[in-house]
Chains A and B, each alone.
Chain A
Amino acid sequence: MEHHFILRVISKMLIPPIMLYALYVQFHGDFGPGGGFQAGVIFAVAFILYAIVFGVETLTLVCPPAVLRAGMALGVLLYAGTGVYSLLRGYNYLDYAALAEPGHAEHGQHLGILLVEGGVGLTVASAMIAIFVAFASRSPDIKDTDW
């Protein structure tokens, strides 16, 4: 019998809804309260909960530090890239009108904010997990038993 049986079962039940809720906040961000930052934090919470209950080593198997770093960088690139796409189309930086289909001006705004918030969400989630891993995987300089 493993330790913390109830904790393990409950957290396994909780993690999928947390992720789903994060995605809800992410995609609902353009209609109501929410957006990439909040969604990124909630999404990271699912991973952090997993690491607290099952150990940081198991978490780093799921998302190795290299993936987290790439996630942080790619999020920023997605955001900045959306702006650069507008520039290349001859609009001002981050002018979502560049993304519009002919005849549907509002689609550009919708798609633009979706891409930008996606970048924010990716960076925030990766950064939150990376910060947690950085702190949690530190071996203490002084052992607890030395006090």
Chain B
Amino acid sequence: MFSLIEPHLPILQVIVPLIAAPLCALFGNRHLAWVIAFTAASISFGIACLLLASVLDGSIISYEIGGWAPPWGIEYRVDAANAFLLLIVSLIGAIVLPYARRSIEKEFDRSTHTYFYVCYLLCLTGLLGVAITGDAFNVFVFLEISSLSTYALVAFGADRDKRALTAAYNYLIMGTIGATFFVIGLGLLYMMTGTLNMVDLSERLAALGDNRAVHVGYVFILVGLGLKLAMFPLHLWLPNAYTYAPSAITAFLAATATKVAVYVLLRFIFSIFGFEFSFETLTLEYVVMPLAIIAMFAASIAAVFQEDIKRLLAYSSIAQIGYILLGVTLLNHTGLTAGIIHLFNHAVTKGALFLAVGCFVYQIGSSRLSDLKGMGRLMPWTSAAIVIGGLSLIGVPLTVGFISKWYLISASLEAGSLFIAGLIVMSSLIAVVYVWRMVETLYLEPAPAGRQKGEAPLSMLIPTWTLIAACLYFGVNSELTSSAASQAAHAFLPPQQIVSGGAGQ
């Protein structure tokens, strides 16, 4: 039986949540919708594990949609890089759902819960689709599926705070501009090469040589994706969107959406334009790297002065994206590994932190630091999760944050820049300040009189602590993540042999 399903795993990865979404909408009942959503997300996670296991040896799975051979048809192409990303996205997708069930009951009206799950599944479909497809235009389609459902998901926060609507609208405008830039860039590449398949595109671009239209296309794609992944200074949509979205969605988005956009950027930089594209190397070195370093400092400093813990973590996310981009722009294998491993590590850390903040919101209805005074004694488990997550943001040993920083610093030393290594350490020190602000508020300030001791429900604590446990486990035993990230970094360099999947033609 399994041998029949196995060749179709790449497509099932995407269509399981896709089909679950309209089923949720049809049945209409929020309990049933949750069951369907959770089942679909779990199956997706299982498929992602199987796919990663089969490509870790460096092989590539290619799946032809509709039986049309690439480059004419749409091809789904799984290598170590996107299999790792599929694992991240589907893991977070499956962990957040059990949490969301109780969390959203307190945050918005029950009549809309079914549609929340529908949007959630569509968002998951889009993110998985972006990661798995080998067709450049298909990336745009899935990016829009995930973005449009994200705008709706952010707006669900409006029952708690009306500002969610302006945040969602702002995100919609910025995200749409980003998508437009991306598709303009794609149009230019299509004009020059006449193909949209990524492998074919990279071969034809290499044959084309240096060309002004290709330069313009590349810049459009870089800026468009920069908007989507909140690259400094294109990050302005992010703090509000993360602050006012429902807690479960903030955790889901922080851990997946920007990561997927980073992956697309990597795919374009390394697989499509190719490493030797000199114009690309120049922009990465003189534009993206300084911006990444500014993001590390500016966003961390902004985080220090925030009054709302969700907004504080949102600014910290922008800084973390800076670290990822810095790793990538070092343009060596260790740097790329550092960037990719930080994708996973930051997803786990930030996911856990936002889930923990959601527990506070569930219990006391606020995420403002001034309302969280003394919660360390009233909600010990949630507060401990914040502390461990915070330590990981700083990069303390035994947490995943340390592994990322370790790789980043070795990469910058490998690139011969002691200066950059120093900057990484310095920006980590700013992280100490904002993490300490949280710890100080939670543990050292007296709780307001009359507030009862009480933890969030177990269905919320268990997902939070699962991610915290992952944060610690992969911080001690980084064997799996670092080998997957290193393999992924290899996948972005020269093409390897292809294992054909799908039914025989």
Contact = CB atoms under 8 A, between A and B. Distances in A.
B63 interface: yes
A-side binding surface: helix, strand, loop or mixed?
helix
Contacts of A74: 22, 26
Given A80-B18, A84-B15, A87-B8, A92 B23 contact: no
Nearest to B7: A92
B192 to A, nearest CB: 27
Interface string B55-91: 0000000011111000000000000000000000000
A127 to B, nearest CB: 11
Contacts of B290: none
Interface in A83-139: 83-84, 86-87, 90-97
B387 interface: no
Contacts of A70: 25-26
B-side binding surface: helix, strand, loop or mixed?
helix
User: Which of A77, A83, A92 has the most chain B CB atoms closer than 10 A to its own CB?
Assistant: A92
Nearest to B11: A93
Contacts of A95: 66-67, 503
B21 A93 contact: no
B6 to A, nearest CB: 12
B22 A73 contact: yes
B19 interface: yes
A115 B23 CA distance: 19
Contacts of A56: none
A96 B66 contact: yes
A76 interface: yes
A25 interface: no
A88 to B, nearest CB: 10
B503 A92 contact: yes
Nearest to B501: A92
A33 to B, nearest CB: 20
A47 B11 CA distance: 36
A72 B15 contact: no
Given A80-B15, A84-B15, A87-B8, A93 B65 contact: yes
B187 interface: no
Contacts of B8: 87, 92-93
A69 interface: yes
Nearest to B8: A87
B22 A91 contact: no
Contacts of A87: 8, 11
B397 interface: no
B22 A77 contact: yes
B65 A92 contact: yes
A39 B15 CA distance: 25
Contacts of A80: 15, 18-19, 22
Given A90-B503, A92-B503, A76 B66 contact: no
Interface in B1-48: 4, 8, 11, 15, 18-19, 21-23, 25-26
B98 interface: no
A93 B26 contact: no
Nearest to B19: A80
9 contacts: A70-B26, A73-B22, A77-B23, A84-B19, A87-B8, A90-B4, A92-B11, A92-B64, A93-B15
Interface of B: 4, 8, 11, 15, 18-19, 21-23, 25-26, 63-67, 502-503
